[in-house]
Amino acid sequence: MAAVDSFCLLYREIARSCNCYMEALAVVGAWYTARKSITVICDFYNLVRLHFIPRLVSRPDLIKQYGRWAVVSGATDGIGRAYAEELADRGLNIILVSRNREKLQAVAQAIADTYHVETDILVANFSQGREIYGPIREALQDRDVGVLVNNVGVFYPCPQPFAQLSEDGLWDIININMAAASALVHMILPGMVARGRGAVVTISSGSCCKPTPQLAAYSASKAYLDHFSRALQYEYSSKGIFVQSLIPFYVATGSPDGFLHKCSWLAPSPKVYAHHAVATLGISKRTTGYWSHSIQFLFAQYMPEWLWVWGANFLLRSFRKEASSFVA
């Protein structure tokens, strides 16, 4: 009995001495909970502000805001073509840049006929390196380029370890994903600065959020584009230039048999994605461009890296299976 009384007395003394620490921990916990709650509320507000409110108001005049011509690289398929069509629908004249002349001519003619704007084409194979940029610079030097869309990019032939990637594939990622955007910005940005207006849109990827195994070089190249755009925004926003980093997640550009293609809200078509993404131009300097992608981005930001890696490996295994079955 004496031992029990002694234990109770000891417990009361310890509780009394720790009471101040418990109060401090309670304050810290309340502060952390309040901070996270405010962050969630702000994220939800930004989601509504970016992806829903712009659809309720009149569309801004992009020609007056930025300029008459838009340059879109990688413009014959997917997001690039859809983005060019969306800008043409806003009245901008379009310069399409890609490596296939026949495709460029067909897309340029289709845009001109549908949206009644001027179009022009520049044939450029960005995998060839530095020598291709001289003719591009000469062709653009007298144009009032108000919007530059850096969309051109190359993906892995299939998800694989870095050492299995061919040397040609590695240099294509460097020359097309990183060097092309850097060189185009370098030649077009001075004219925008001289005119005191312009917009640079660089399309990165959701894979830039965290290190992505089986896509090491690709995800790193997209992280470069994201950091490059964000740095440019800090450098040139005071000069009237709006620089936007677009971070799309999965967009349904490939075979319609994939499992993600069945979830249109999760993986929008290029046309739907571009319609939403252009609506964020001038509003957000860093965005996914689409409402469900923004939700995915928030989860990616808050999830631990090991969970991101596990999810990436699961999805990439699925893509490999789909690709192998499609080839078969």
Q: Which residues are catalytic?
A: 218
Q: Return the number of other C-beta atoms located less than 10 Å from residue 127's C-beta.
A: 17
The letter for the amino acid at 56 is L
Helix (H) or strand (E) holding 148: strand 145-150
Best CA proximity match to 169, nearest among 221, 213, 209, 206: 221
Cβ atoms of 267 and 252 within 8 Å: the answer is yes
Answer yes or no: are the C-beta atoms of 311 and 210 closer than 8 Å: no
> DSSP secondary-structure letter at 1?
-
- Cβ–Cβ < 8 Å for 191, 238: no
Residue pointed to by tokens 């495709």: 103
Sign of CA dihedral 66, 191, 244, 124: positive
CA distance 46 to 294: 9
Three-state DSSP class for residue 44: helix
Cα distances (angstroms) measured from residue 282 to each of 43, 44, 279, 306: 18, 19, 8, 35
**Pairwise CA distance, residues 33 & 49, whole Å:** 24
Q: Give the strand order in the sheet containing 93-98.
A: 119-123, 93-98, 69-73, 145-150, 198-203, 241-246, 286-287
> Rounded distance, CA 208 to CA 170, Å?
17
State the DSSP code for 68.
Answer: S
Helix 270-279 × helix 78-89 angle, to 10° = 50
